[in-house]
Amino acid sequence: MAEHFKEASRCRGCLTYLEKPVYLQCGYICCLQCVNSLQKEPNGEGVLCPFCSVVSQKKDIRPNSQLGALVSKIKELEPQLRAVLQMNPRMRKFQVDVTLDVDTANNHLIISEDLRSVRCGYFQQYWRTCAERFIYAICVLGSPRFTSGRHYWEVDVETSKEWDVGVCRESVNRQGVVELSSELGFWTVGSRNGDLFTASTVPLTALLVGPRLHRVGIFLDMDIGIISFYHVSDGSHIFTFTQVSAAEPLRPFFAPANPIKDDQGFLRICPVMNPGTASFPVSPGRGK
């Protein structure tokens, strides 16, 4: 809810809180001052909507005072919203020792001896034949299986430009082409080209992620059916899936970069840390 309020209050033009919001003829909303930055109608005075190209004349642009009042209230609540969207340091007490399950790994994946690091190579590794192995998709599952409770782990993505991490159902398709979709049992976030981040909703949800994302924190609560992702370096929230089904076991999911697109990309599962020796950033005014 906090994320929804924050997103709904943002101007799509300047990406800050809406100031004196107005809406065009098609319903597009932006700041009053941002109207001047919109593309102008050829040989006319109207402006074009950046999404649907509907032309709005000056008389069509109307203020939205009710939304303006709501945004002002949300700005007042900014400290509380930041606290809600901040990683809770107590999550670390649910940290689990996750390792890679070699028997599920695609044959092009190279897995370290400690079963924590994975990257994709150009040549097949000729793992032994297993019914649970991904045949076409460049991915691997983690152990253990989760059937209930709360679980937390962290994944280093370092400078990899392409990756997907999260959880999936035990029964997901492993023989054919894999489509990362929450409707098909994959709850993941991922990166493309190093600057495009998405969540595997239907349709995909574009994510606003802070710079220098090198480590992702993943918190799964099967008792209430959510999985949340966090930017570990600053504790900021990335995305939360709700209504995650616990009808069958869930597995940690990892998909490193295709070497054709990113030959330096790899994923590494972080070892379990003592809760007393590490902490996450804490928002001002938030209790420990």
Close Cβ partners of 10 (under 8 Å, ≥ 6 residues apart): 16, 17, 18
Average confidence (pLDDT) per 10 residues, the chain, 288 residues:
76 88 90 90 84 87 90 82 78 95 95 96 84 93 96 94 96 91 96 91 88 92 95 91 93 93 87 62 38
Q: Which of 252, 270, 264 is nearest to 100 (CA)?
A: 252
Q: Which H or E run includes 84?
A: helix 78-84
Using a cut of 0.95, tell me whether the model's pTM lies above it: no
In this prediction, residue 158 carries a pLDDT of: 87
Give dist(CA 161, CA 158) in Å, integer.
9
Give dist(CA 270, CA 125) in Å, integer.
24
Close Cβ partners of 286 (under 8 Å, ≥ 6 residues apart): 83, 86
- Residue-wise pLDDT for 33-51, tens only, equals 999 889 888 877 889 988 8
Q: How far is CA 245 from CA 23, 184, 196, in A?
A: 39, 11, 27
List own/partner pairs for 46-53 with CB under 8 A and 24 or more apart: 49/24, 50/12, 50/13, 51/26, 52/26, 52/28
- Residue-wise pLDDT for 172-218, tens only, equals 989 888 999 999 999 999 999 888 999 999 999 999 887 789 999 99
